Amino acid sequence: MPRTPAIDIPAPAPLTALTLQQPCPTDATAMWRLVRDARDLDTNSPHFYRLWCRDFAATSVVARDKATLCGFVTGFTRPAQPDTLFMWQAAVAPRWQNIGLARHLLDALAADQYRFVECTVTPDNTASERCVRAFAHKRGAPVRRQPLFSADHFPVPGHAPEVLYRVGPLTR
């Protein structure tokens, strides 16, 4: 499968060393490993990531330092809300954490094609909350929060509730 062209969006140093592209199925194993090794993310099956890279590549982005996958953001649009990007999952390799890579990936993915970005965040996931708030601040957009699913909605004991974050309308 041919590789998609790089996504051209200005990056702060040291993020300029990275290439951003749409994922392809060959990225799936590295994506799965990033999530598995993060330990605080819900790990989907390797098959899930391969299908995601095939079917939702246009609404996802990966970052590479040469041939090494450094991070990714996966997303999708709901048919009822085509102007809204739902960020499904973001993962960043330890070496690239705490420098704004996840926010940069989200910024590149959202570009100028969506009016809103949504995601769910568990109350203890401060890294994701910081990422969403930094993205909103850069875009000059409000952030609205509301409970979406309580812990009772999940069949896994101890699963935290999911809070819906809605950013927008987005500005440049």
Question: What is the Cα gyration radius of the chain?
Answer: 15
pLDDT of amino acid 112:
84
Q: For residue 8, is pLDDT > 80? A: no
What token pair was written down for 19? Answer: 């290439």
CB burial class (10 A; 0-12, 13-18, 19+) of residue 128? buried
131: Cβ contacts below 8 Å, ≥ 6 apart:
90, 102, 103, 106
Pairing of strands 81-92, 116-121: parallel
Lowest mean pLDDT among 53-57, 143-147, 154-158: 154-158
Tell the burial category of 27 from Cβ atoms under 10 Å away from its Cβ (0-12, 13-18, 19+). buried
Q: Report the SS3 class of residue 62.
A: strand
pLDDT value of position 172: 64
Read off the pLDDT band of 6 (50, 70, 90).
low
Task: Let me know the angle formed at the C-alpha of 67 by 108 and 14, rounded to the nearest 5 degrees.
Answer: 50
Residue type, 15: L
Q: Which amino acid is at 92?
A: V
For the chain, the average pLDDT equals 91
- Percent of all residues in the chain with a pLDDT value above 70, rounded to a whole number: 92
- Candidates 113, 128, 121; CA nearest to 169 is 113
Closest by Cα among 87, 80, 130 to 108: 87
Per-residue model confidence as pLDDT tens digits over 33-89: 999 999 888 899 999 999 999 999 999 999 999 889 999 999 999 999 999 999 999
pLDDT at 3 over 90: no
CATH architecture under which domain 15-167 falls: 3-Layer(aba) Sandwich (3.40)
Closest CA to 56 of 85, 18, 36, 93: 85
Task: Say if residues 4 and 24 touch (Cβ distance below 8 Å).
Answer: yes
